[in-house]
Amino acid sequence: MSHEITIRADGFAEAAFSMEPAWHGLGTVMDHPMKSRAALIAAGLDWGVDQEELFRQNVDEYEKVDGYKLNIRSDNKLILGMVTDSYKVVQNIEAFEFLDDLVENHEMLYESAFSLYGGRKVCVLARMPGYKEVVPGDALLPYILMSLSHDGSESIRFGGVATRVVCANTYAIADREQGVNNLTIRHSGDIKEKLSRARNILGLASRQFAQYAEIGQALAQRRLAREEWKEYL
């Protein structure tokens, strides 16, 4: 699988990363931890999603297709997907604002932000406050990943991950961790009310990372005898 980062016609890659570049070398790399507004702009994700009526050609005239709409990028008018009338758009800026609201004083730090497949999927990776060291110099960083699928193919997904997600294939790795499935929200009904459940997920993720660190510290202190090492191999 390739990185699938959205690259505009002018060559701009819709991606931004904090401190360290991604393996694919694309996007903007900031020399400091990013706040939400800076991450949104640096990644070029300050575009919106509009909805338009869907029509089909019937002989010499067009007739409206009831029950469906098209999701359209506001900047370049790219068709992102076809969705039902009940589908409710969550804009990119709303996703950043939502993550900010999870942490006191809006001090959430952003590790990466990028879009995939022309903007059909948008991913935001934030780092929760604090970290644990397994051994000195080996830090376990607690990440929260949120993804939006503007093409209607997936629900909003949110959860804790241990992978630094920077592209489509690292997203797939994080997906296998199952953390990103801690909370899935369909694009219908009262989305803001559903997102309020994420505060509980944040607490759960913090406890899970603490447990992972304890397990890692215990393993780091374990020394195998020669016979145990042979048996392990």
Yes or no: say if 174 and 101 are a contact pair by the CB < 8 Å rule: no
Look at residue 113 in the predicted model and tell me its pLDDT. 96
Residues of the chain with confidence (pLDDT) below 70? 1, 103-107, 129-134, 137-140, 178-182, 189-210, 212-213
CA distance 100 to 82: 30
pTM, two decimals, is 0.81
Look at residue 201 in the predicted model and tell me its pLDDT. 67
CA distance 37 to 43: 10
CA distance 97 to 11: 28
Record the tokens describing residue 53, joined without a space. 């009526």
Look at residue 59 in the predicted model and tell me its pLDDT. 79
Task: Compute the CA torsion angle 217, 222, 223, 228 (nearest 10 deg).
Answer: -140
Yes or no: say if 201 and 103 are a contact pair by the CB < 8 Å rule: no
CB atoms within 10 A of CB 54: 14
Per-residue pLDDT tens digits for 100-126:
877 666 667 899 999 999 999 999 998
State how far the alpha carbon of 191 is from the alpha carbons of 89, 100, 155, 185, 219, in Å: 9, 17, 11, 7, 42
